[in-house]
Amino acid sequence: MVPQLDTSFYISQIFWLIVCLLVLGVAFKKLFIPRMNKLVQQRADYIKSLEKNIKDLEKQVDELSNKLEKVQNKKIIETNKIIERAQYQCDVLLDQTNRELQTENEIAIKQSRKEADTIIRNLNKTLNEQIENVAQELFTKMFPQKKDEIEK
């Protein structure tokens, strides 16, 4: 007969089956499942701490972004003020230079006019003298006898 089908061994096999299942059940309940729960809880805590760190880092990034934006706006305003001051100073310098050049030009124009007036007066004198000389020569050539009478 086949030993697996022998009914006299069924009770002992059922007993050891129940004992093995109880030992394995107790071992799983007391040893394996708590350790797995502990590992799962540690992983969950680690994930939560990482999520918390991520949120903290996001807050820090937002704060830094806001600070950076404020600093950039402040620097833009300062830069615009510097540019405005430089433009104003350039305008003042240009106006001053223009006034100086205009004054120099006016002085040069006055001097040129004086020189031109002097040259014109001198030309007028020399022209008048030449006209008188030519007139006298014409007069003497036209009326030679009158010249002697005029000289006497």
Q: What is the pLDDT of residue 152?
A: 54
Q: What is the pLDDT of residue 136?
A: 84
Distance (Å, rounded) from C-alpha 86 to C-alpha 88? 5
Distance (Å, rounded) from C-alpha 47 to C-alpha 100? 77
Q: What is the pLDDT of residue 38?
A: 95
Q: What is the pLDDT of residue 10?
A: 83
Please report, in tens digits, the pLDDT of each residue of the chain (152 residues total).
Answer: 577 777 787 888 899 999 999 999 999 999 999 999 999 999 999 999 999 999 999 999 999 999 999 999 999 999 999 999 999 999 999 999 999 999 999 999 999 999 999 999 999 999 989 988 888 888 888 877 765 666 65
Distances (CA, A) of 29 to 20, 21, 37, 137, 139: 14, 12, 11, 154, 157
- Placement of tokens 């059940």 in the chain: 25
Torsion of CA 99, 103, 108, 110, to 10 degrees: 140
Q: What is the pLDDT of residue 148?
A: 60
Tokens of 81: 């003020």
- Placement of tokens 């510097």 in the chain: 82
In the chain, alpha helices (H): 10-27, 33-142, 144-151
Q: What is the pLDDT of residue 5?
A: 74
Tokens of 10: 């069924």
Q: What is the pLDDT of residue 139?
A: 81
